[in-house]
Each structure stands twice: as C-alpha cells, then as structure tokens.
C-alpha cells in the first residue's frame, strides 16, 4: 500500500469516527453518503436522513421564507436595493442564493414550504439569452449563474428546460483555455482604450451600455479566471451534464493547473493565499472547494498534479482531527468544512 494512501486512510478513519459522533444530521448524511458510496440501508445513514427533516437551522430558513419566495433583508440593504433597479440586483437575490444553498445542503427540495416560489422567482428573471441577471452589475456574471444553477439542480429542478438554458449559456461562454471570465471586467477591460481607466468608471460606462462587447483576438491570450471557472464548474457538476464531458473536465483542468498560483485577475481573489484558506461556506474560492470538485470528477492519484494539493489538505487538519476556518473557527461551521475535506479524501483514496 502506498505510504500516502495509508496516511489518508488513517486520517479518514479517525476523523470520520469523531465527526460522526458530534456532527449535525446533514453533515453526517453527506459524510456517510461518500463513505457508503451513495444511498444506503445502513441504519446510520437512514437515521441521518430522517433527522435532517427536523434540523433546526433548516426549519428556521423555511419558516423565514415568504410566500413571494424571498427572505427579509436589513433596512439598510433594502434602502440601497430600492435606490437601484431592484431585484435581481441587490441583497434580496444574494440572500436567496445563500439560503437556498444552505437548504439544499440540508436535503430540502422545491416541494417544501415556499421553496418553489423562490425557484420560480429566480427563473422568472431569466433573460432570452438564458442567463439570470444580477446581483450586482448590469452585465451577466457567470459565477453567480453557476451558483444559481447549482441551487436549482440540488433542489430538484435539474431537468427543467429553463435550467438547461442556463447550462447552455454557461457552456457557450467557455473560452479556449477551458475556463471562464466575468464579461467586460475580465476581458474587454484589458483593451488599450480601457486598461488605464479606474474600475469604478469602467463599470459605470459598461452598466450604461456605452461599451460594446466584442470578441477581440487581442484578448485570447488573457487567462481565464480561476475562481469564476470554479464557480461555473460547481454549478455544471450539479446539473445533468455527464462527469466525463470534456467541456466540464477542461474547466476543472484549468483550476487544477492553477492550484496554489496567483489569479491573473485583480477583480476576483488575485492573491495565491486564497488557495490555503479554509472558508465557510466551503464554495468560497479556496483549495478545499477545488479538491471537492476535482475528486468528484475523478481526478485522483493517477494525476501527479493532485499530490501536493492532497498533502496540503492533510497538513491543514487541526490537532483535534477536524479542519477549521482560517479566519474565525466555529464549532458547527468547522464540522461542515471537515465533512468536505473528508469526502474529498475518501473519493481520492478510493481511486488508488
């Protein structure tokens, strides 16, 4: 047995045992899902699935969701939103995305509470091109469409034609290097006539429709954004595209090749330190999110590029056997982080 696999398996055994003893139901459910390779008749798995129904954070989110499919936002945020064009621009949509993500992770479906109203509200904003506008700029943001796609698929909307349109739009936006950029600020912005302009001014004229979106060959050599690509791949992985689809894998290759490296673009986590920060929610740009996606897509010990990231993940484990947030460790959120780390290691070890 390779020494690294032996180390991984020991970590999995010890940390999984500890986590299953103290974790809330959805954390136990997803860890057991990967340990048992999918749905199982194992009593522990069935118990975790049943207990998810009464998981208090889930019930609170369902109770706070209004008939119109939105959650309340603070007065300050509401005033700022009302001063603009309104949803999907502003904090209402951001709050919907975050809370729907948490509900999906807690095994909620579109048929519970007013979740279907939230789903329909989001899809009601869909443009004829296929993307969901917002939440900040007037131009489309692929990373937020990946976010929305993931939520819609997990909540049970993966087969809806409108969701397929989001997938198609994202795939149409894929660049030659396999990745994605945020339109305008990560491509057009680098053209000579705009590159010396302050970002605020550039964004203003783009939002006012004063900047044509053109495919200039001068932009072909600009690398795609690591973190935009990761969020898009996260959405596509949850949808109905096959895990072996070359378009999906080429996106994953881009951030695997960029692991531990500085992002080319200043507009989205440029510093390479983001790779080694453990964050919650875990989909915030980080090496953990990358490994979660990569191992799910089948990148394992046979790919030498995975070796250093996996060793980093093992080394990031705390003395208590858990993985903790780099900024503000917290008992419950650290358990979610630990579950993602362990599931990534479980999938990786299984590929030896």
Could you read off the pLDDT of 282-330 as tens digits, one per residue?
A: 888 899 999 999 999 999 999 999 999 999 999 999 999 999 999 888 8
62 lies in a domain?
A: yes
CB 243 within 8 A of CB 296: yes
Number of residues that this document lists for the chain: 352
25 to each of 44, 107, 297, 347, how far by Cα in Å?
10, 10, 26, 21
Contact residues for 174 (Cβ-Cβ < 8 A; gap 6+): 180, 247, 250, 251
Q: How confident is the model at residue 196 (pLDDT cuts 50, 70, 90)?
A: very high
Q: Is residue 240 part of a domain?
A: no
Query: Dihedral through CA 134, CA 140, CA 144, CA 148, nearest 10?
Result: 80
Is cis: bond before 88, omega within 30 of 0?
yes
Average confidence score pLDDT of the chain: 95
CA–CA separation, 340 vs 324, rounded Å? 11
Give me the pLDDT at residue 282, please: 85
Its pTM stands at: 0.95
DSSP 133: P
Cis peptide before 285 (omega within 30 of 0): no
pLDDT in tens, 7-30: 999 999 999 999 999 999 999 999
Q: What is the pLDDT of residue 71?
A: 98
Per-residue pLDDT, averaged over 205-233, amounts to 90
Q: Give me the pLDDT at residue 217, please.
A: 72
As to burial, measured by CB atoms within 10 angstroms (0-12 exposed, 13-18 middle, 19+ buried), residue 4 is middle
121 located within any domain: yes
Q: pLDDT-based confidence at 1, cuts 50/70/90?
A: low
User: What's the pLDDT score for residue 140?
Assistant: 93
Question: Across the chain, how many H-helices and E-strands are there?
Answer: 15, 0
pLDDT, position 81: 94
Domain that holds residue 120: 57-125
254 close to 225: Cβ distance less than 8 angstroms:
no
Alpha carbon distance 37, 21 (integer Å): 20
Domain count, the chain: 1
Is residue 66 in some structural domain?
Answer: yes
**pLDDT tens figures, 144-192:** 999 999 999 999 999 999 999 999 999 999 999 999 999 999 999 999 9
95 inside domain? yes
Residue 93 lies in a domain: yes
- Greater model confidence, 40 or 345: 345
Q: What are the phi and psi torsion angles at 225 (to 5°)?
A: -85, 125
User: Which residue did the predictor score with more confidence, 249 or 138?
Assistant: 249
> Does residue 101 sit within a domain?
yes
Band the pLDDT of 214: cuts 50, 70, 90: confident
Q: Is residue 78 part of a domain?
A: yes
SS3 262: coil
């Amino acid at each position: 047995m390779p020494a690294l696999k032996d180390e991984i398996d020991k970590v999995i055994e010890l940390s999984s045992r500890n986590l299953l003893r103290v974790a809330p139901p959805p954390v136990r459910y997803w860890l057991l899902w990967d340990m048992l390779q999918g749905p199982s008749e194992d009593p522990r798995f069935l118990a975790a699935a049943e207990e998810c129904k009464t998981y208090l954070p889930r019930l609170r989110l369902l109770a706070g969701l209004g008939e119109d499919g939105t959650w309340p936002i603070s007065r300050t945020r509401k005033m700022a939103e009302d001063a603009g064009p309104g949803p999907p621009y502003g904090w209402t949509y951001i709050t919907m995305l975050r809370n729907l993500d948490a509900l999906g992770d807690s095994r909620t479906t579109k048929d519970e509470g007013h979740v279907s109203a939230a789903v329909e509200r989001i899809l009601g904003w869909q443009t004829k091109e296929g993307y969901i506008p917002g939440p900040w700029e007037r131009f489309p943001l692929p990373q937020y469409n990946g976010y929305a796609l993931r939520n819609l698929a997990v909540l049970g909307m993966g087969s809806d034609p409108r969701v397929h349109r989001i997938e198609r739009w994202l795939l149409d936006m894929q660049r030659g290097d396999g990745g994605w950029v945020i339109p305008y600020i990560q491509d057009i912005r680098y053209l000579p006539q705009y590159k010396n302009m302050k970002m605020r001014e550039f964004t203003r004229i783009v939002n006012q429709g004063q900047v044509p979106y053109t495919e200039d060959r001068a932009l072909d050599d600009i690398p795609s954004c690591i973190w935009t690509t990761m969020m898009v791949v996260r959405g596509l992985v949850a949808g109905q595209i096959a895990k072996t689809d070359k378009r999906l894998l080429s996106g994953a290759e881009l951030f695997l090749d960029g692991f531990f490296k500085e992002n080319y673009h200043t507009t989205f986590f440029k510093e390479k330190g983001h790779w080694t920060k453990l964050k919650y929610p875990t989909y915030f740009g980080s090496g953990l999110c990358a490994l979660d996606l990569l191992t799910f897509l089948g990148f394992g010990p046979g790919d030498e590029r995975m070796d250093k990231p996996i060793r980093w993940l093992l080394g990031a484990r705390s003395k208590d056997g858990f993985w903790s947030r780099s900024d503000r460790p917290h008992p419950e959120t650290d358990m979610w982080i630990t579950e993602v780390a362990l599931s990534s290691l479980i999938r990786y070890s299984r590929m030896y």
